[in-house]
Amino acid sequence: MHTSTNLRGPFFMDIERFVGADEAAEFLCITRRRLLEMARAARIPAHAIGGGKRKTWRFRLSELAEAVVAKEPDITAGKRGMITAGGSLAVVPNKRRKS
């Protein structure tokens, strides 16, 4: 006898869904290509699906947000809001002299 699983119960309501690369890239305001490069290099939290050479990547937006907030801003980055290898998506304040 086969019983179906109730995916609408209280336990499953707390599980965050996975999103694809397009939605994750839009969330981080970067290109899909850059997002996938960072996922392959393990610079952002990502979940690879498939065991072959070509993987499908899935992301949880809460994990991406936590990773961005947890990293210190890279003030050596030349551009504001740029994600760098050891940096984060952070706005770096301009250093202006008062005259």
Please indicate, yes or no, if residue 6 is contained in any of the structural domains: no
8 A C-beta contact, residue 88 and residue 68: yes
Confidence band for 52, pLDDT divided at 50, 70 and 90: confident
Please indicate, yes or no, if residue 11 is contained in any of the structural domains: no
Please indicate, yes or no, if residue 37 is contained in any of the structural domains: yes
Please indicate, yes or no, if residue 7 is contained in any of the structural domains: no
pTM assigned to the model? 0.60
Tokens 């869904």, located at residue: 17
Q: Which position has the higher pLDDT, 68 or 3?
A: 68
Please indicate, yes or no, if residue 4 is contained in any of the structural domains: no
Confidence band for 41, pLDDT divided at 50, 70 and 90: very high
Tokens 């981080």, located at residue: 28
8 A C-beta contact, residue 70 and residue 89: no
Confidence band for 80, pLDDT divided at 50, 70 and 90: very low
Confidence band for 5, pLDDT divided at 50, 70 and 90: low
Tokens 């499908």, located at residue: 56
Domain of residue 72 covers: 16-99
